[in-house]
Amino acid sequence: MRIQHFFDPQTFTLTYVVYEPATGDAVVIDPVLDYDPASSQTSTGSVEAVAAFLERERLKLRYVLETHAHADHLSGSQFLKRRFGAPVAIGERIREVQATFQALFDLPADVPTDGSQFDRLLADGEEFQAGALRIRVIATPGHTPACVSYLIGDAVFTGDALFMEDSGTGRCDFPRGSATDLYHSVHDRLYSLPDATRVFVGHDYQPEGRPLRFETTIGASKQGNSQLKASTSKEEYVRFRTTRDATLKAPRLLLPSVQVNVDAGRLPRPHANGNRYLHMPVNIFGPTDEAGIPLPRA
Ligand SMILES: [Fe+2]
């Protein structure tokens, strides 16, 4: 098994191609569709690079795997599905995320909340084949309820649950996020994997400008993760995470990302004039009246 990474410096996202050279079977984890918010224009440079790699190595794409509905980039899954005919899979609790954002964004009725726009919904503990690759699903909720990690051979792809030691863990303040859940996901689930298990993270924010790093091990994380070590108590972590999250800004692409990604990475259907429109809610995090004056909190 080999692993090729792709890094999107705009959103600090890691996309992985995991493949078996002997058979050519491959999966792609967390592809990115580029999006410029100022012009509201997508482009395909990041996902084209992944596609070019698959073609150059003559790989057969068996699945596109999402670790969760991302809130910081648009998914490139539909591009890869179209190009290679590969099904798109995500954790089955995506339905809860869809219901939450359907209510928040008042999404159109053609965005179902039963997960049916994904080709496969994955349950905790489920194992499946992607050609010669055997994949185990480990539910790792907390950043979102639907987050999963994928264990393939001796490598686990942790999405936004577990980051490099100096970045810690994912934030837990999105709707339906839970620091307590993330503690259990990392401390009880991921840290029960063998210490030698290789960890491939979903983002690397390159703290203090250090060079890109995206691979560690379960053993190194247990010893050295700056937010959640094997020795960290739940109370300690939840207090830290909640305090830290209160200081974080919304991700730059939060509003466009979630409405596209809960619909399996599909852009909104065109209106009668042929144009596609994203919803841009105003003041959902701090409701106001039409003059912009804050409404009393209910
Ligand atoms: Fe995320």
Over residues 233-256, the pLDDT tens digits come to: 999 999 999 999 999 998 999 999
Position 297 pLDDT exceeds 80: no
pLDDT digits (tens, 9 = 90+) for 49-73: 999 999 999 999 999 999 999 999 9
Q: Is the pLDDT of residue 298 over 80?
A: no
User: Around ion ligand 1, which residues have CB less than 5 A away?
Assistant: 70, 160
Structure tokens at 232: 């960290």
At residue 36, the pLDDT reads 97
Residue 36 CB contacts under 8 Å (≥ 6 apart), including other chains: 42, 43
What's the 272 CA to ligand 1 centre distance in angstroms? Answer: 33
Neighbours of 239 (CB within 10 A): 12
Task: Write out pLDDT tens, residues 171-208.
Answer: 999 989 999 999 999 999 999 999 999 999 999 999 99
Mean pLDDT on 5-10: 97
Q: Say how many Å lie between the CA of residue 24 and the centre of ligand 1.
A: 29
Find the angle CA(129)-CA(258)-CA(59) to the nearest 5 degrees.
Answer: 30
pTM beyond 0.85: the answer is: yes
Instruction: Give residue 108's pLDDT band: very low, low, confident or very high (50, 70, 90).
Output: confident
Residues 6+ away with beta carbon under 8 Å from 216: 164, 165, 198, 199, 201
Measured CA to CA, the distance from residue 140 to residue 145 in angstroms comes to 8
From the CA of 70, how far away is ligand 1's center (Å)?
Answer: 4
Q: Which pLDDT does position 285 carry in this prediction?
A: 86
Distance from the alpha carbon of residue 20 to the mean position of ligand 1, in angstroms:
27
Centroid of ligand 1 to alpha carbon of 172 (angstroms): 10
Give tens-digit pLDDT for 22-49: 999 999 999 999 999 999 999 999 999 9
CATH of 2-261, one of 3.30.390.50, 3.30.43.10, 3.90.1150.10, 3.60.15.10: 3.60.15.10
pLDDT value, residue 226 = 97
pLDDT at res. 284:
87
CA of 289 to the centre of ligand 1 (A): 31
Q: Which residue reads 């493949």 in tokens?
A: 19
In whole numbers, what is the pLDDT of the chain averaged over residues? 97
Q: What is the pLDDT of residue 204?
A: 98
What pLDDT does 19 receive?
Answer: 98
pLDDT at 249: 93
The answer to whether 226 touches 165, Cβ cutoff 8 Å, is yes
Beta carbons within 10 angstroms of residue 262's beta carbon: 29
Q: What percent of the chain has pLDDT over 90?
A: 95
At residue 117, the pLDDT reads 97
pLDDT of residue 110: 87
Q: What would the pLDDT profile of 88-100 be if each residue is shown by its tens digit? A: 999 999 999 999 9
Cα of 72 to ligand 1 centre, how many Å? 6
